[in-house]
Structures are given as structure tokens and as C-alpha cells.
Structure 1
């Protein structure tokens, strides 16, 4: 009877997490929680405190286990233990460097795409001088609003709303561009402007993908945090097993680790409260150019 109950509970639990598709294949449920996104929602000091306190707790637990073994006259070889701890902390340093390299490259790409996007907007705006008056007037208004929306993106609390407006402007700009087919104008000039608009839309998609899609994968975050936990435990175990009370060094490792992780999270997230933000200067330069009278 107990086995029957256990089997029923297990079956009920698993059916809540798995379901079958119409073809009979097992479909795994989507996981909404993302480690990088969660860490990015925390404030800078809150994230730093969480990492440092968690690391100290793990080190203390390792030191307690190691000290119990020391009191029971079970002492590991100092050289072997130091080698093992050094290897784990070395791997942790490698993972931190690798993860930082990923985020810094992405941040550099974001800044580069802003410059290219500003250049594309400026080219489109200047080439409106080659268009009939009707399209020129309307398109210049649209480009002015377009760059204003981009400049306000970093301070906007609703990124989805901003992206929706940009995509609406793409449609309006393209409709005006398509209307040039009905105008009597040089086909080469029409082609030049059309290509410029295509480049503008393509760069928007590239920037959106790099900024919002290309994030540190959860598999890297999970391995990094797991390796950090192992390293902190091993470091604490070494302190306890050798009966060494080193308060300053015990705090130094968690603080250094917390600083690097906060830096990586700052680079990886796109939330407005973070300190690392892409440059606005290229867009501001183009906006100043738009404010001047251009024939």
C-alpha cells in the first residue's frame, strides 16, 4: 500500500512537470528563471553584499568541517591540500577571466553598433536632400523622432514600449521610401536612399540582438557559481584543517570575488540603473546636425 501511494505521488508530480505533445513526444516545460537576468535585477550593493555574505558562509562551513577533523587528529597533507585549493581557485580565476572577456567583447560591440547606427541615420537624413519635397519633409520628421527615441532609450523605464515605437517608425520610413517608386526621379538616387534605409533597419536588428539576446548563458553562470562555492569551501576547509585563523584573508577572497562578479553583471545587463552604458555621443552629434538647416 505504501509503495502504491509513493508511486501515485511520483506520477502526479512528474505529470505536472512533463506533458505530451499531440505526436506523443515528451515536452519539457519552459524555464522562465534566468540566473543572469535575476542578478541584473539586484542593486549593485545588494548583489555585492549577497555574494560576499554567501561566500563567507560557505568558507565558515568549510572551516568548521576542517576544524572538526583537526580536533579528531585527522590532518591532511599541507602540500597536497594547498595544491588542491590553489588549483580550484585557479580554475575559478580562469572562469572569471573568461566570463569577463565575453561581457567586455559584447559591451564593445554594443558601442560599435551605436556608432554605425548613428552613421546610418546621418546618411539617410542627408540623402533626403535628393528626394522630392513631399517625402523629404516627412522623412526628416521621422528620422528626427527616430534618433530622439534612441537617445531616450537608456533612461526609459519601458524598453519594450521604446522598441515597439522604433519598429513602428521603421514601417513609416519604409512606406515613404516605397512611395518613391511613383515619383519621377533618378533611379540611381532612389537606389542610394533605399540601400541606406535597408542598412538602417539591419543595424537596428543587429543592435537589438547584441543588447538583448546575446547574454551570458545560464550554463556558464551555473558552472561559475558552483565552482566558486567549491573554491570557497575548499579554502575554508584548508583554514580549519590547519587550525589557521586568518580573518583578513578570509574576508579578502569573498570581497575580491564579489567585486569581479558585480563588474561582470554590470557589463552584461542592459538595465538603466547600471553604471556601464553605451555611448550616446555619436547619436547626439547626428541630432545636432539635424537641427541645422540643410537644403
Structure 2
């Protein structure tokens, strides 16, 4: 089971190569045993057609189920990104509800936070540092709220600010877990590969019984099934591959807040 638990750390190219190899080997082994059974006269081609069709049906169901699972999570990652961007932008604006000094501090922290959240999914070498600093900013923002509350600041104005701040913190947690920790469970990967091997073995066996099959067809079948499997694996990963969530909304917010902070600093100097 250790291999399965480490599956999400394996390169997509390795997964693609392994999938091709699994399909080709399963076809070859099935073809070998099918030809041997035909020579011995132990089986007819029609007797295994139903079993092969049933196995292929189960494989198709498993592929569709797994693809839908990871596609839903991919869409969830996109929605969470947009929700977080909107919450951060609103928090920056609602800093005006606070006292001037606290408002300036909040705006500076949110601008820094946007820069931390504006990452390249394919280059996350400083991911842990960004997450740690994000948590520190959450605490600093909440301390501002706590201090204003203790000082008896206007409750309605303060509530208007901390309600949206809570959403920023909640979306951080949701994005972190959905994007980083929630993956296709290892048993599903095991079942998917097991069904693939069995289905390809059955196809190879049926071709062997009929003394048919060609390397070109086998290779095409291997490539087709492997593309679907690696596509599922790609969708399941937030920080690898070609199917990643577009970070443009966060990048644009980061640029807007950075420009706004520069303008505020220049205005204060005058």
C-alpha cells in the first residue's frame, strides 16, 4: 500500500509510461494465453466475449467515475480562487470602516497577502513559507479586530469588517485542503489499474483465441487508455501538469492592490 500512498508524488510522465507498459504487457500476456488455449482446443472465442464486454463496461464506468470526481474538484478549485479574490478585495475596501491607523495597517497586510497568494502553480518551491506567512497575517488581522473590540469601537462597523475577514480565512483553509490534500484515494487508483489490466488481458486473450491482433492496434489501445488515465491524474494535481487553474484573477488583484498602496504612500509623502 506504500506505493499507492506515494502515487501523487510520482511524475505524470512516469504515470503515462507505466500506464502504456501495463496495457501492452496485459495485452501480450492475454494474447499468449489465448493462443495457447486455442491450440489446446479448451475455449471458443464466443465463450469469452461476454466476460470481456463486462470487464470493459466496468472499466468504462470506473474511468467515468474517477474523471467526474477529479473534474468536480478541479471546478471547485477554480470557484474557491474566485471567491477568495472577491473576499480579499472586499476586505481591502472595508478597511475604511476602521480607524485610520488600523485601516492603513489592514490595507498593507491585505496587499502583502495578495502577493503571497499570487503564485505560479508550476513553481511552488517557497510554498511552505507562503502558507506560514499567510497564517501570520491572519493572526495580525484578527489582533486588529480584537484590539478595536476591546477598545469599544463601533460594533456595527467592526462587524462589517470581520465578517468578510472570516471569509478570507475560511477560503484560505478551503483552498489549501482542496488543492493540496484532497486527492483521488489510493484504493480507487488501485481498482482503476487492476480493471485496466484485467480488461486488456481479456482483449488480448480474445484476440489470441481468434489468432488475431497486431502491434499497431495494441500500441494505439495502450496510448488511448493511458491518455485518459494521465488526464485524470493531471486534473487531480493543482501544482503539476498542463490542466491547472488559471491564476489571472489573483494576479490582477495583486497588481491592483500593489498600485493602490504605492499611490497611498506617495499621497502621504506630499
Normalization by structure 1: what TM-score?
0.82
Match of 2:252 in 1: 285
Q: 2:67 aligns with which of 100, 117, 124?
A: 100
Aligned length: 261
CA distance in 1, matches of 2:173, 2:190: 29
Give the gaps of 5 or more residues in structure 1: 1-30
1:89 counterpart = 2:56: yes
Write 1 or 2 for the structure with the bigger share of helix: 2
Match of 1:242 in 2: 210
**1:102-117 counterparts in 2 under 5 A?**
102-117=69-84
1:41 counterpart = 2:9: yes
1:200 counterpart = 2:184: no
Determine helix, strand or coil for the equivalent of 1:175.
Answer: helix
Match of 1:25 in 2: none
CA distance in 2, matches of 1:83, 1:237: 13
Q: 1:209 aligns with which of 171, 177, 202?
A: 177
Give the gaps of 5 or more residues in structure 2: none
On the 8 A contact 1:36/1:216 being kept in 2, the answer is no
Determine helix, strand or coil for the equivalent of 2:57.
Answer: helix
On the 8 A contact 2:119/2:247 being kept in 1, the answer is no
Q: CA RMSD in A?
A: 2.0
Match of 2:23 in 1: 55
Normalization by structure 2: what TM-score?
0.89
Pick closer, same or farther for the CA change 1:70–1:198 going to 2, 3 Å: same
Pick closer, same or farther for the CA change 1:115–1:81 going to 2, 3 Å: same
Match of 2:99 in 1: 132
- The CA deviation at 1:80 is 3.0
Q: 1:161 aligns with which of 118, 126, 129?
A: 129
Determine helix, strand or coil for the equivalent of 1:200.
Answer: helix
- The CA deviation at 1:161 is 2.8
Determine helix, strand or coil for the equivalent of 1:157.
Answer: coil
CA distance in 1, matches of 2:219, 2:50: 21
Determine helix, strand or coil for the equivalent of 1:275.
Answer: coil
CA distance in 2, matches of 1:280, 1:36: 29
- The CA deviation at 1:195 is 0.9
- The CA deviation at 1:66 is 1.1
On the 8 A contact 1:63/1:238 being kept in 2, the answer is yes
